[in-house]
A and B are shown apart, each in its own frame.
Chain A
């Protein structure tokens, strides 16, 4: 199947449009709905992060979504033209903290890493590229984790 792309304004209000685009790609590729749900969560975290941090305030840019499904791997690329960003530099959330100590940030990228089979972030032709990869189970009994 060929890759399909969609460009959207980088605003949180566009999140439903992004999710609808992913949902149609998931349905066409026949990806397991459970895995599709995990990918939807990863997409929200990446999308919202770009909306909040990639572009200077008052100068909203765009986000490009690219779906490249294959028999074994469903790949969702999220691209932006904003400032360089590497989530590897973010601190891990303290999951053992008590309710009083628990801070409200840091959970987004942590969830992205938990949700997908593979996560890669790189700079490509002056753009940020986040690849969210979901391995399709080889048989009925298997399920990617």
Chain B
């Protein structure tokens, strides 16, 4: 799993590639929580190159989304591949999180708050 971060003003776009599984989810959680601790409040998480997510990965998403949203932040997931989307759907996360189909749409959604 790799995360590539780009800045667009106050907004950060995180491109996550590879697998979010039992081995990589702690790393994901640490890096996101660190961004939030450093003051990031607007995040777009681009899952375009993410090919796999397990319950450990979903746990990392829940553990990182809750603190950010509780602090008034905004977070949108975008570009879910079919397998990842299926897992989101089955576990109810598709309606729990904000999920967009394109990067411009996701950026606009986060900027709107």
Write the residues of chain A forming the contact surface with B, with a CB cutoff of 8 angstroms.
Answer: 12-13, 15-16, 34, 37, 40-41, 44-45, 48, 93, 95-100, 102, 104-105, 107-108, 110-111, 114
Write the residues of chain B forming the contact surface with A, with a CB cutoff of 8 angstroms.
Answer: 21-23, 52, 54-56, 58-59, 62-63, 65-66, 69, 83, 87, 90-92, 96-97
Q: A99-B69, A108-B55 are in contact. Are A44 and B96 (CB under 8 A)?
A: no
Q: Which residues of B contact A13 (CB under 8 A)?
A: 23
Instruction: Specify the chain A residue showing the minimal Cβ separation from B22.
Output: A48
Q: How many A-B residue pairs have CB under 8 A?
A: 57
Q: Which residues of A contact B69 (CB under 8 A)?
A: 99
* Shortest beta-carbon distance from A60 to chain B in Å: 15
Would you call A93 and B91 a contact (CB within 8 A)?
yes
Q: Which residues of A contact B55 (CB under 8 A)?
A: 45, 107-108, 110-111
Would you call B22 and A104 a contact (CB within 8 A)?
no
Q: A44-B54, A111-B54 are in contact. Are A15 and B21 (CB under 8 A)?
A: yes
